[in-house]
């Protein structure tokens, strides 16, 4: 039996497995495609950074460029099943990770948290749905204005949230002191026009209760709902008799 001699130009990636010239070309083409993809991604990031800076965004303050390049070794499947030439190979290719992201803030339950917003680019215009609340591509200067407005609004939302919770806590404590036998809780309600919203419910041992809208100022609560448990249990005749005995309005 004659010994097989390995061509020094052939790739030996799988423990001595030799690839045909056709397979070697497919491997080389794949490696080149990965390299070009990284170059395209890097060029796009450079262009986006330039557009942001020219519009007035400040690197480090308003955005961060966390794009990085590297290499990785992995197993890939090349070829096509319909051509009956699929095979696996271990290759080392260029890779990239990261992008340019805007450094914003968001309000979460009375706290301001730092967050990152991804921004897309098309023909010199930018789009960041998290800031814009829509998907149109707009001028970079316009996005900067909306970005700053967004951050300021988050601070206002946080202040309003804290104030509203302070008023809510004050109102709950107020009715707990006024009616110690009652149970004072926050109850979530729903209407078609307003959706879901919280109310402060003062419920008595009789199961009668009254609900208030959560006020924006202390001692300014308004009634949302009243429930008289005794009245509900009355028969129609008893209700009529009750109404009949009421004094006439003057």
From first to last of its 250 residues, the chain has per-residue pLDDT tens of 333 333 444 444 455 678 899 999 999 999 999 999 999 999 999 999 999 999 999 999 999 999 999 999 999 999 988 888 899 999 999 999 999 999 999 999 999 999 999 999 999 999 999 999 889 999 999 999 999 999 999 999 999 999 999 999 999 999 999 999 999 999 999 999 989 999 999 999 999 999 999 999 999 999 999 999 888 888 888 888 888 888 888 7
Q: What angle do CA 12, 17, 18 make, to 5 degrees?
A: 70
Tokens of 235: 């028969």
* pLDDT for the residue 169: 96
* pLDDT for the residue 15: 53
Given a contact cutoff of 8 angstroms between Cβ atoms, the answer to whether 58 and 147 are in contact is no
Given a contact cutoff of 8 angstroms between Cβ atoms, the answer to whether 118 and 165 are in contact is no
* pLDDT for the residue 82: 86
- Give Cα separations from 178 to 35, 182, 209, 229 (angstroms): 74, 9, 14, 20
Given a contact cutoff of 8 angstroms between Cβ atoms, the answer to whether 87 and 57 are in contact is no
* pLDDT for the residue 232: 83
For 133: left if phi > 0, alpha if psi spans -120 to 50, otherwise beta; the answer is left
Given a contact cutoff of 8 angstroms between Cβ atoms, the answer to whether 189 and 197 are in contact is yes
Given a contact cutoff of 8 angstroms between Cβ atoms, the answer to whether 87 and 78 are in contact is yes
Given a contact cutoff of 8 angstroms between Cβ atoms, the answer to whether 103 and 131 are in contact is no
* pLDDT for the residue 2: 36
Alpha helices in 182-223 (DSSP H): none
């Amino acid at each position: 039996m004659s010994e097989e001699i390995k061509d020094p130009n052939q790739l030996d990636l799988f423990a001595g497995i030799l690839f045909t010239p056709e397979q070697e070309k497919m491997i080389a083409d794949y490696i080149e495609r990965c390299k070009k993809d990284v170059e395209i991604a890097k060029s796009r990031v450079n262009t986006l950074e330039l557009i942001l800076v020219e519009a007035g965004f400040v690197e480090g303050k308003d955005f961060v460029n966390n794009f990085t390049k590297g290499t990785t070794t992995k197993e890939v499947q090349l070829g096509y099943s319909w051509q009956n030439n699929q095979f696996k190979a271990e290759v080392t290719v260029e890779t990239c990770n990261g992008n340019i992201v805007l450094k914003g803030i968001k309000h979460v339950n009375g706290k301001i948290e730092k967050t990152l917003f991804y921004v897309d680019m098309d023909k010199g215009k930018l789009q960041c749905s998290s800031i814009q609340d829509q998907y149109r591509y707009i001028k970079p200067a316009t996005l900067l204005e909306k970005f700053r407005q967004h951050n300021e609004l988050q601070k206002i939302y946080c202040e309003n949230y804290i104030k509203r919770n302070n008023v809510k806590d004050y109102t709950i404590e107020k009715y707990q002191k006024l009616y110690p036998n009652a149970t004072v809780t926050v109850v979530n309600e729903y209407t078609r026009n307003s959706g879901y919203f919280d109310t402060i419910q003062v419920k008595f041992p009789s199961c009668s209760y009254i609900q208030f809208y959560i006020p924006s100022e202390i001692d300014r609560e308004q009634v949302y709902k009243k429930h008289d448990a005794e009245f509900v249990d009355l028969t129609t005749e008893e209700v009529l008799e009750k109404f009949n005995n009421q004094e006439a309005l003057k």
